[in-house]
Amino acid sequence: MKELIRKLCEVYGPVGREGAVREVIRQEIEGVVDEVRVDAMGNLIATKRPTQDGAQPGKRIMLAAHMDEIGVMVSHVDEKGFLRVTPVGGVLAAAVLGTQAMFEDGTRGLFGIEGQILVRDKPELSKVFLDVGATSKEDQSLGIGDQAVFRTAFVDQGKRLLAPNFDDRIGCAVLVQVLREIKQTPNEIIAVFTVQEEVGVRGAKVSGFSVEPDLVIALDVTAAGDIPEVKVSPSALGAGPAIKVKDTFMLADLGVRRWLVRTAEAFDIPYQLEILELGGTDASAVQTSRAGVRAGAVSIPSRYVHQPSQMIDYDDVQNCVRLLVNALSEAVAV
């Protein structure tokens, strides 16, 4: 599965430009689902129909993971060829300085801040620029509307993995692997790889409306707090997938949460409960679509979320797959 994760993390796919990610995923799930379609917004919707009858009737279950990653968009090119940028998604100005960004054509640049050679003050994003080495405006091939994403290397250090965009390529990788490993299920599984989550869960709003699921589970990351001097640690690397209780935009359905907890305990899968004080997932958009949907989420704990390099634990990833495969292989009693 590590090769799948690496492949997804290395693909360019900022908000609104998810096509290359979608194509990789389409190739990876070929032959393991019954139907694949792309809607008007660009969501990839893959259906796995029921393969067996259970003691209880199966449900129509939507699993959502977003393909987009945060980045910046060029808003101005100055006379010296430096690029002024505007954020697309939750970019943290303090985290970007000196890091690499990559454009769709492969051009790479470094973030700098105006007026400072050695950065001493807390930066504002309005003063940040991208330097791609151009010598003048005429020498600059990039222009207004071009988008760049953070690009640090994917690193495999055994149990710990590093990449710039586990939010949410790791959720996409988990969802692909779940589709591969589910062999028998009484449920109809609709896997939706969504677009534009980072700017207001837009892809989930329309796909949730069209899919009309009985329940939805979002697959995303959550902020790990197991670092020095953090007084409250909502989740930790290596302690298992995090079953959501609440976040800024959603209270998880109690029945969905208990069903996931029961499954984890029945199969000796380590898990933790998640309360995320800042942020949300695609599940919040689906929860309030049409007449309402029972909603939950399972998260991979990640250190340094929305920063140019992030860290996760590979055991958490594998246990997340185990949790979902076992939960979805039987009729859902919620």
Enzyme catalytic residues: 197
- Strand pairing report for 188-194 and 44-48: antiparallel
List, in sequence order, every residue forming a beta bridge with 60; answer none if it has no partner: 188
Residue 26, Cβ density class (10 Å: 0-12 exposed, 13-18 middle, ≥19 buried): middle
Q: Give the pair of three-digit tokens for residue 240.
A: 């298992």
End-to-end CA distance of the chain: 31
CB 171 within 8 A of CB 300: yes
Q: What is the DSSP string of 31-58?
A: TTSSEEEE-TT--EEEEE---S--SS--
| Number of C-beta neighbours around residue 6 at 10 A | 17
Q: What is the DSSP string of 73-139?
A: EEEEE-TTSPEEEEEES---HHHHTT-EEEETTS-EEEEEETT-SS--S---GGGEEEE---SSSTT
